[in-house]
A and B are shown apart, each in its own frame.
Chain A
Amino acid sequence: MPTDTSTDGAPQGDAVTNLAPSDRSDVAADRVSGLDALELAPKTDKGALGKRIWASTWPKLLAIAIVVGAWQLVFLSGWRKPYVLPPPADVFAELGELITEPKFWDGVQLTMTRALTGFALAVAIGTLLGALVSQFKPLRAAIGSLITGLQTMPSIMWFPLAILLFQLGEEAILFVVVIGAAPSVANGLISGIDYVPRTWLRVGQVMGMRGIAKYRHLILPASLPSFVSGLKQGWAFSWRSLMAGELLVIVPGTVSIGVRMQTARDLNDAVAVIAYIIVVLIIGILVDQFFNAADGALRKRWGLTAS
């Protein structure tokens, strides 16, 4: 293996040209591929699938065990009466019953439909807004900070206005979900476009990318990681807004998760209240896992993960 061109026996100076060209190019080819082979890190064995799943699962199980354990201890301490703070066992029994009821799943379906509709609309509006704002410099200065301001606005502040505008209806909920999530989506896209590395832009310019081609082949793909973070954050905002909305805006005839929660509270049914908190938590975690998986796959493709 040649590690140094000065010691590999190649003649110096003019003598090199006296060699048959094929010899020389073979040696050069070997040198290049030898170096490539040395520089490429050997593939690390990731281990069996089962092992990997277990490795990522046990910390989560441990966390759940700690929380449930703490809850059980607080219950045992007698800090609150059992009908106000029930033990974990009662709540999990209630949950076990809940998931066998078709009506519960109707509620989940209604809530998820609202969440997905609102989120989809927020993504569409946020993307459009982000693209427009990043395109026009004056707009960027004027609206950029407004968008950030909107992001920090607690969504519950919008409900009085939403109810005045749309009465107690689906539109009121949708309005708040969209206005909560769209700024995050827009911001994700804007910061993605803002931080496209300068050298990439120069490469694109030298390649002759203009207008739409520049967006299609460079700006949009380059801003993807930031856009995905924006989507993730947007989802978190829309999910929060939706839960606030379902507790405040009860559309007659609908039994969403929020409505069921509100009913449980009205009936002083602490077991059900906590059960619904857990349901909302689980849905939140599942969707977050989905976004994390998408983000992780993207980072892996781009080589952004520390390996």
Chain B
Amino acid sequence: MSTVVRIDDVTKQYGAGSNALLALDHISLDVDKGEFVCLLGASGCGKSTLLSLVAGLDEITSGTLDISGKHVALMFQEAALFPWLSVAANVELPLKLQGVGRADRKKRAQELLEIVRLGGFGGKRPHELSGGMRQRVALARALAQNADVLLMDEPFGALDAMTRDILHDELERIWREQELTVLFVTHNVREAVRLGDRVVLLSSRPGRVIEDFKIDHARPRRIDSPEVSGQAAEITDRLRAEVARHAN
């Protein structure tokens, strides 16, 4: 399998001198094509920082980060749809920027909305949809970017448990059908085990890779299945020990 993202000995430091904050300390991590990798950690582990670096929104301090000309798409906790555009126009925007013609754009946007099961909502405004629906539009927009890697920064963090549960199923389905590569940041251990092929546990301040768990349970998984719960408990213990280390 080909490696899509290669993070090799990457360090990220904010500021300089005595005020310097070491966010990421010699992180190495590879993501293969078609893989679903979850980055897991407590507050301050620099998981969002790492995602920003991969997205090219921030510069690394040292090390090498190789996404070799590949395109990334990014999703956040908030859908960040543009309120001046209809739902369909939001999905069309990346296509427009890629220079796709009007007719093709419309067709493709409709296909993408159908993938996220919102085929009938293209004419709506973002604010007319629920939070979960907006996140699905954001997913459709991310898919429209035709990216090699989908970066997701706690995309379901602001949703209620029921919606999140259903969106896990949806994301898993779309990931499989569209053969996506996903780098997914979360602080929710069960969510990470529910979704990931691998769960990469990061330490806090500075962020380092503690352990890279391989999750082999058959898909589709359920967040409340014994396998997922059992593995989540194991990882949670590691995470708790890491948090306790910061007690003083």
Contacts and interface: CB of A to CB of B under 8 A. Distances in A.
Contacts of A29: 117
Interface stretch (A3-11, A150-158, A227-235, A247-255): A3-11
Nearest to A34: B166
Interface in B115-144: 117-118, 125-133
Nearest to A206: B74
B165 A39 contact: no
A205 B222 contact: no
Contact of B97 (A200, A213, A301): A213
Interface residues of A, number: 40
Interface string A1-37: 0011110001011101100000001001101110110
A202 B222 contact: no
A205 B82 contact: no
B20 interface: no
Contacts of B98: 208
Contacts of B131: 39
A224 interface: yes
B94 interface: yes
Given A5-B222, A206-B73, A36 B130 contact: yes
A207 B97 contact: yes
Interface string A27-51: 0110111011001100000000000
B72 interface: yes
Nearest to A203: B80
Interface in B52-75: 55-57, 72-74
Contacts of B178: none
Contacts of A163: none
A221 B82 contact: yes
Interface string B141-169: 00001000000000000000011011001
B120 to A, nearest CB: 9
A39 B117 contact: no
A200 B125 contact: no
A32 B166 contact: yes
Given A14-B218, A222-B82, A206 B166 contact: no
A138 interface: no
B102 to A, nearest CB: 15
A304 B84 CA distance: 11
A69 interface: no
A302 interface: yes
Given A33-B117, A202-B55, A303-B128, 11 more contacts: A28-B169, A35-B166, A39-B133, A40-B128, A40-B129, A40-B130, A205-B57, A207-B93, A207-B97, A208-B97, A218-B82
Interface of A: 3-6, 10, 12-14, 16-17, 25, 28-29, 31-33, 35-36, 39-40, 197, 199-200, 202-203, 205-209, 213, 217-218, 221-222, 224, 301-304
